[in-house]
Amino acid sequence: MSANVMQSASTVRAESQSGALASNASVALDVVDISKHFGGISALDHVSLSLRPGEVHGLIGPNGSGKTTMLNMLSGYYQPSAGSIRHRGEELANATVQRRARIGIARTFQKPRLLPTLSVLDNAVLGAWPHSRASFLATAFGLPSVGREEKALRAQAAEILHGIGLGHVINRRANLLDHAEQRFLEIARGLVMQPRFILLDEPAGGLTGNEIEHLADVIRTLREAGIGVLLVEHHTDFVFRICDRVTTLNVGKMIKHGTPDEVRADPEVIRVYLGA
């Protein structure tokens, strides 16, 4: 993983952030007392967490506990029924996906969502859409209208792909990638956005031991670059090893928040999720 790529991304962010911050405006992504109902189902019930730059924050819990719903709410795919999502003094609870992407909230999906017939490079470049002035189609198909800005973008995307270990498949169609490659491509696409925060929905799902180690290296590099990582994951050994803090959900409620050691030792977490 190429640390300088991540550093250049975070430097751009740091420069664009300087000056405007009110003294009481948190640089974290703060989820305050969020609830989300689907009809009679309470997918999230008064949950709070704070995703800080340069921290890896685990989000764990049994299936159906509301983890993906939290990601959907942070990235703007769902709007909360109640509560607040704040960043640098801005209320984001009802902000669009576009607005959140522009302030630097990237995500991956539980089942990778790539454009199957486009190349790896084109899929990665699409991650820059919040910053790009060229049209989606011009970017995707490399039409002549794609100017110097787009060339720079493609070079940066290629650099990120090399850094994440996909340099050898940059021109391959995305549907020819194996499962792990697709997962890493999704992360690369998120990084092309130059995010402040990246939300990863079960990124280790279906990965081999070696691939999980590579994922751990990638996530550590993101942390060092100052990116806040929200890690939804069922591989609890991996979560406890890599996370700075962990939040545990059960049927929409937060049951424990703390350091990995605190969460791992919590009787309620053991009862509902980790097993005896």
10 binding partner (options Mg ion, ligand ADP, none; Cβ < 5 to 8 Å by kind)? none
Using CB under 6 A, count the residues that bind ligand ADP.
Answer: 11
Residues 92-121 that bind ligand ADP (CB under 6 A): none
262: which residues sit within 8 A by CB, 6+ positions away?
Answer: 256
Please state, in angstroms and as integers, the Cα–Cα distance from residue 179 to each residue in 175, 186, 203, 214, 276, following that order: 10, 11, 11, 14, 32
- Find the binder of Mg ion among 10, 65, 68, 132 (CB under 5 A): 68
Q: What is the dihedral of CA 224, 21, 29, 133, to 10 degrees?
A: -80
Q: Which is nearer to ligand ADP, 43 or 126 (CB)?
A: 43
Cβ density class 248-268: b for 16+ within 10 Å, e for less: bbbbbebbbbeebeebbebee
Residue 145 has a CB neighbour count (10 Å cut-off) of 11
Stretch that binds Mg ion, among 31-39, 68-76, 204-212, 251-259 (CB under 5 A): 68-76
Q: Which is nearer to ligand ADP, 61 or 226 (CB)?
A: 61
Q: Which residue pairs from 264-268 have beta carbons closer than 8 angstroms and sit at least 24 positions apart in sequence? A: 264/236, 264/240
DSSP state at residue 176: G
Residue 69 is a binding residue for ligand ADP (CB under 6 A): yes
The residues that bridge with 91 in the sheet, in sequence order, are: 86
- Find the binder of ligand ADP among 18, 23, 24, 63 (CB under 6 A): 63
Nearest distance from C-beta of residue 126 to ligand ADP, angstroms: 24
Q: Which is nearer to ligand ADP, 61 or 127 (CB)?
A: 61
Q: Which is nearer to Mg ion, 53 or 203 (CB)?
A: 203
Q: Which is nearer to ligand ADP, 61 or 130 (CB)?
A: 61
DSSP state at residue 77: S
Whether residue 54 contacts residue 226, with contact meaning beta carbons closer than 8 Å, is answered with yes
Stretch that binds Mg ion, among 17-25, 61-69, 85-93, 261-269 (CB under 5 A): 61-69
Residue 67 is a binding residue for ligand ADP (CB under 6 A): yes
Alpha carbons 259 and 84: distance in angstroms, whole number: 24
Please state, in angstroms and as integers, the Cα–Cα distance from residue 47 to each residue in 78, 246, 255, 267, following that order: 15, 13, 10, 20
Residue 248 is a binding residue for Mg ion (CB under 5 A): no
Nearest distance from C-beta of residue 268 to Mg ion, angstroms: 21
Stretch that binds ligand ADP, among 38-46, 129-137, 158-166, 215-223 (CB under 6 A): 38-46
Please state, in angstroms and as integers, the Cα–Cα distance from residue 271 to each residue in 58, 68, 125, 240, following that order: 18, 22, 44, 17
- Find the binder of ligand ADP among 29, 47, 68, 80 (CB under 6 A): 68
Residues lying near Mg ion in the complex (CB under 5 A) are found at: 67-68
Residues lying near ligand ADP in the complex (CB under 6 A) are found at: 38, 41, 43, 61, 63-69
